[in-house]
Structure formats: structure tokens, C-alpha cells
Structure 1
Amino acid sequence: MSVNKCDQPIGVFDSGVGGLTVLRALKDLLPHENFLYLGDTARVPYGTKSAESVIKYALQAGGALVKEGIKMLVVACNTASAVSIDSLMTAYSPLPVVGVVKPGAEAACLASKNGKIAVIATESTVKGGAYQRTICRMHSGAKIIAKACPLFVGLAEEGWTEGEIVEAIVARYLKPLFAEFGEEGPDTLVLGCTHFPVLHGAIAKVAGDKITLVDSAETTANTVKRILTELSLPNNSDAAGRLSFLATDSAERFSAVGSAFLGGAINLADVRSIDL
């Protein structure tokens, strides 16, 4: 029996549970779509790995989702988007592949009034320069300074998202970054890792109300919706879409930790452990 392509799930993958913030935006905007999320929790974080390793892991994760039968692949990992998006597009063409870097850069350019944009991300994303290059192409006069904030991933994974200790760590990273822009400072801060929105409250408190925080989740969801429409692939069902999950490490930990990122409980029965 043939499968209706519109009914197929949208595949989403991340190095861990951070990409669930993107999945949350996707399901809010596209409530009738089915989603299959893969968290490569056995190898998190990607942000400290070499480009070669990230490309290898991304192709393995993407391949696992393609085998499950998906109609689109969303790379909900800034590091993988920055390093491996071209490799994924080539490997799985003509499957539409969407990353989070370009939508995040677009949102930053729209938000910034003075053209001074700060980017915080993982080491690999910062060193790769994907946000810097993409923002510069869209806003030629922009001043962009990026800084790696590796401890943020650990804080988010452990559920340490607020309080004096968290704010002190955030300030240790952000204050020197903002000072590099001079007296006026940046007016936009890009959260260039999908783990970072969980720390939104602490980051916003340190950044102050003159700096707009941008994450790519909502903009990525809008991009996915547009592409689905262009390719005549929207799910036309009136029923709520299904959420299913794959994890390369403990399903129990994925369910417990991931719930905070998704903004709702993850049923352990919906999480399947796999090897890549």
C-alpha cells in the first residue's frame, strides 16, 4: 500500500535535547504535522568536535531519519547546520533540508537597528563563522562579534537555568563580549545554540532590556511552513500531529531532561533507543 507523502513525518535532529526548542516552535506553528525527532545524546555536544566528526555524525543522524520515511529534514543543531548543511543536502537530495543558521541570521538582521550584533554559540559554530558570514551577506554594514559559551550547554542539560550562580556564569561570558562593541554596545544577541533558549531568563537579565535576544526556532518554523506550502507537502489532516522520538543514549534520561526543552512531558513510551 502506497504511503501518502503529506502524512509522512518531518524529521528533526540535534546533538541532544536542545533541538527540542525548535521542535516546540514547529509543533506550535504546524499542529497537524507529524514529527520524528532524533537526539544524538550519546555524542552530545557536537560543539567541541571537529568539523569532520560533526559532518560524519550529521550524515548518520540524517540517514537514520531518512530510513524511517520523512518528507523533510530539519537540522535543529546550530553546529551541524553551520558545518554539515551542504553535505546533508547533497547526500539526501531531493529531500528538502532546512538548517537553523540562516533563519537565525535573518531574524537578527531584522531585529537590529544599529547593526551591532553579538552571537553566542558553541566553539565549533563560532570558529566555523557561519553566523558571521550569513549575517554579513544580509547586512553588509553589520558589526558582528561571536563568542563561544561552552558551559551554557552543560547548565541547560542539567536543568540549571536560573539563580545567582547561573547569572554569574552568564555575566562572565557576556560582559566582556558586550564591551568589545564599545560604548554603545550591541542591540541584538543571537542565541546560536538550541540549548541556550532554556537559559533565556538569565541571559535576558544580564543583557538588559536594550538588547533583543534572537533564537532561530520561530524563524525556522516559518521557513519550514513556507517550504511545505511551496512543495505541496502540508499535512491536511484535522487531527493533532504525532510526536515520536529517537535517542542514541538512555531513553529515560532523554524523556526526563527533554521535557523542559519541549515545554511539556515526553512519554517514555514514545522514545526509542537506537545506535548510529
Structure 2
Amino acid sequence: MSTRDLSTVGLRADRQAAVLRLTITRPEKLNAVTAELIQCLYEQIAATDARVVVITGEGRAFSSGADLEPGAGGPTDGTSGGGENTLTAANRLLREITGCDAVVIAAINGPAAGIGCSIALAADLPVMAEEAYLLLPFTNIGLMPDGGVTATWAAAAGRVHAMRAALFGERIPAAEALQTGLVAATAPAAELGELVDRWAQTLADRPRVALARTKQAINASTLGHLPQALSREETEQEALLAGADFTEGVQAFLERRQAHFTD
């Protein structure tokens, strides 16, 4: 595991018995993530022997996605931290979340957008505050969904629902996310922590190997195409990142104006 100070990248790791809780701590940025932060999430999960891993955000958001501010280490900067871009780091994290032995719970305490949404839906048990929403805003800035969400969303809620969410970039509220199978449960924001803690403890008391094999069998049956989806997303997204529409989309986002696409 890296010896870097997690607080400097915006992450906190708390271990309590068999449960590891990972909290993104950039509330002033609505927990927008950088490649370095994503890499730290990966390292924590890859190195742990915890039976349950909980991923959540500090403050009012789970994660607003990749940090788009110039110099922040997001996709607009190409590379960050160890020299990788956000997408490469995210794909490694997604493979670890879906492939590791630990049961991963995403405590979606607030909005989960972009790569933040991808991370949440890769979890084995996404659990959502009733006030939260899911959002795939990629086409708004000239990009396509990534982080494996083209596979995980469709596997959970179906092809047409994934199309609608991805093409229109609509906010999907918690009630609809639960109804369509995107999340395992919802709760009022004030009660989300209690629900997640109860689930985490229940799972931590169960046999580790049986849990791991169950998780892996279900993922193999429903997400066997995830490696191909990640590869496709990375190839296509790299091309889109180099395009004029992405430049215009980000500029419009930062300037809070309507984008004018040309491709």
C-alpha cells in the first residue's frame, strides 16, 4: 500500500474490526475526484483483509465526478499523481471493486455523478439516501459514460433505462433507482448511516469465503463483459477527450453557459 498521506488527496480510511470505511473528503468540491484520489481508493481496497468495505462521501455529496478545474489532476490535465489519467486509474479501481473478496457497500449520501456514479454502481450493494440522485452528465461535455457504467447500469436496470440516463443526462432520483434495481435500498439521509452500519456488521459476521464466492459468481454471471466494456470506454473516451467538443463542453461548464458543439 502507498505510504502517502491520504488527507492530502482527500480520502479518509477508518478500520473498525472487519469493516473498512473509505470516505472521500473534498466537500468543498462536492467530493470531485482526481486520478491520485482514485488510485488511493484502489490501494486501500486492494491491500485490505476487511470483509466489508464501505465507500461514501463527506458532506452533502457522494461524488460530483472528476474534478474539471485546470490543474486539479482531473481529465483536463491528462495525468495526475503517478502519471496516469483519471480514466486509467478508475478502470483499475472498478476491476478491484467488482473482483475483490470483500463485499463493497456504496453509501450514496448525496448526488453521485459522472465517475462518482460509476464507482457507486460498481459496488456490490449500493445504498442511497432518499434525497440523493444518480447522474451521467458525460454527453453534456462532449464525452461518453465511463468507469464501466455502460455495463453496470444496463446490467442492473436494463438497456433502455441505461440509454435514457446516458443520452439525456437526466437526474435519476433514489425512488426510481430503487424501483429499477440500480440500488439495493434507500433511506432518509439521517438514517442512511445506521442502515449501512447494520448491513456491514451483518455481513462481517458471515463466512468470508462464502461471501466472496457468492459475490464473484453473481458478478461473473451478470458482468462477465465488464473487461470489454472498460476497454471500449477507455479507447473511445480517449478520442473524445482529444476532441473540440470536450474542450468546449468543459469551458462552457466552467463559465456556466450553454455549450455550442460542432462534431
Q: Same fold (TM over 0.5)?
A: no
Structure having greater relative contact order (Cα 8 Å, sep ≥ 6): 1
Q: TM-score, normalised by structure 1?
A: 0.29
Q: TM-score, normalised by structure 2?
A: 0.31
Task: Please tell me whether Structure 1 or Structure 2 has the larger radius of gyration of its CA atoms.
Answer: 1
